[in-house]
A and B are shown apart, each in its own frame.
Chain A
Amino acid sequence: MTAVLAFAHRAAIKVRRVPEQAADAVLIPVIFTVLFTYVFGGALAGSTHHYLQYLLPGTLVLTVLLITVFAGASVNADKTQGLLDRYRSMPFWRPALIVGTLLGEVMRCVVATTIVIALGLIMGFRPAGGAAGVVAAAALVVAFSVSLGWMWTALGLLLRTAAAVSTLSFVVQFPLVFTSNVFVDPDTMPAGLRAFVETNPVSLLATTVRHLMAGTADAGEVLGVLLAAAAVTALFAPVTLRLYERAA
């Protein structure tokens, strides 16, 4: 579809033209990786090297979670700048704006995951799963991010300002990330919290990513993540498209 590609092309131009947007999403994981590894790593896992092996797959998840919000911010900007009215008065395939924007976010995710993995390798991350495991893990994270993108585009269409979108993303994502196994193994947590952490979808994603990178993943858990992504998409895609059609 021409329109989808046109919107993806626009997103790609914006990644280049507004690098500070992508920089935010890359900088936070980079800072966390460096900080957590060298400040807490020794205490948490016995050595910084050991901790990095645990942390880096988690950072990858964090990176992509942060980036998915941009799809929401992008359609919100379209709404507040009046572009949505123009698009909706034009004769192209209705989901093109959202699908194209999400494709653009995939490009942003690929760039960001590459940077984070490269940083990890420099710091001494040595995944047992090898290159194939790392690529599979990155692909899984990106696939999952597309499903979350549908949620953020729905919120981007619903909320009044871009600031509201980023505030909400902060409020939702930081608790979810910190009550997951992204940074620490939940074994030492109180039982109630541990139960929550272990069922947190962010944990499930992070665990699967770890296993893929370690080369120990089984098909069931990968399928589980893909099914979760499909479920999120099935839930939010109709909402997003309806909001696109009806946003006042």
Chain B
Amino acid sequence: MSKDRPLAVDARGLAKRFRDTPALAALDLTVPAGSVYAILGPNGSGKTTLIRILATVLRPDAGSAAVLGHDVVREAAAIRRRIALTGQFAALDEHLTGRENLYLLARLRGLSRAAARARAGELLTTFGLDEAAGRTVKTYSGGMRRRVDVAASLIVPPDLLFLDEPTTGLDPHSRREVWDIVRDLDATVLLTSQYLEEADQLAERIAVIDRGRVIAEGTPDELKASAGRPRLEDAYLELTS
């Protein structure tokens, strides 16, 4: 690990099974700090399992992983203070308003009542949710939920932000909004996607995973070159076929 660009993620030989289904099979991954890194792969390739292990939600069956220099199993508490996870489905309480959701999560991050109230207000304004702030999340569109969801991960700005399929199921307009948000983030971002265009647009580097292992890794241009295809989509189809 070099001093000037430490690794945000350093995973070696990660394996995880759910009953009889292998989700990860000896997966290696290194993510440099300070960039947007995309994990690209088809449904069921192990993207979500990988993210959940790195975010200390799941324990690996085998292998090891360091996140921001801390071991995911032994030093989970240290990792949790410095990361934020935005899961695949907007993880919000349907019966609470957007403001109440953010307030609750801010309190859970240890902010005082006044600080939590102020922070929720700031984020609602930043994400253009002032008008909807007082309505229950049940009434929100997919794009609005996503915005609250990402805002929730920024209550205490994390050093590493996990975004699991941040735009799956969103309309094109909302997808652009999420892309703009990701581009403006200061943190290292590890995102998963099924969309090549998304990875191409946002990520400095991409790992393509299939059946629980990394089958290709590099910058978008490197991936296109290595597969001998000028379009990332063709390179991807070549790799995962």
Contact = CB atoms under 8 A, between A and B. Distances in A.
Of A2, A9, A10, A91, most B-chain CB atoms within 10 Å: A91
A1 B83 CA distance: 21
A96 B110 CA distance: 12
Given A17-B136, A90-B109, A91-B109, A10 B85 contact: no
A92 B92 contact: no
B104 A10 contact: yes
B232 interface: no
A88 B107 contact: no
Interface residues of A, number: 25
Of A2, A7, A17, A86, most B-chain CB atoms within 10 Å: A86
B229 to A, nearest CB: 35
B94 A81 contact: yes
Interface string B90-110: 111111100010001101111
Chain A contact surface mostly: helix
A34 interface: no
A83 interface: yes
Contacts of A91: 77, 80-81, 109-110
Given A13-B100, A89-B57, A91-B77, A81 B93 contact: yes
B55 interface: yes
B107 A85 contact: no
Contacts of A13: 95-96, 100
A191 interface: no
Given A3-B107, A6-B104, A248-B58, A89 B92 contact: no
Interface string A66-102: 0000000000000001110111111110001000000
Nearest to A96: B108
A125 to B, nearest CB: 34
Nearest to B77: A91
**Which size class do B's interface residues fall under?**
20 to 34
Contacts of A2: 107-108, 110
A86 B152 contact: yes
B87 A86 contact: yes
A83 B93 contact: yes
A248 B21 CA distance: 13
Contacts of B52: 85
A18 interface: yes
Contacts of A81: 89, 91-94
Interface string A90-127: 11100010000000000000000000000000000000
Nearest to B83: A89
Nearest to A81: B91
Nearest to A18: B95
Contacts of B152: 86
Contacts of A90: 80, 105, 108-109
Given A9-B104, A91-B80, A92-B108, A82 B95 contact: no
Nearest to A80: B89
Contacts of B110: 2-3, 91-92
A72 B91 CA distance: 18
A6 B105 CA distance: 8
Of B94, B100, B108, most A-chain CB atoms within 10 Å: B108
Interface string A1-31: 0110111011001100110000000000000
Of B18, B85, B136, most A-chain CB atoms within 10 Å: B85
B27 to A, nearest CB: 18
A10 B80 CA distance: 22
Interface of B: 18, 52, 55-59, 77, 80-81, 83-96, 100, 104-105, 107-110, 136, 152, 162
Interface of A: 2-3, 5-7, 9-10, 13-14, 17-18, 81-83, 85-92, 96, 246, 248
16 contacts: A3-B108, A3-B110, A6-B108, A14-B95, A14-B96, A17-B136, A81-B89, A82-B88, A82-B89, A85-B52, A86-B105, A86-B152, A88-B56, A89-B80, A92-B108, A92-B109
Given A89-B83, A248-B58, 5 more contacts: A10-B96, A81-B89, A89-B57, A91-B109, A91-B110
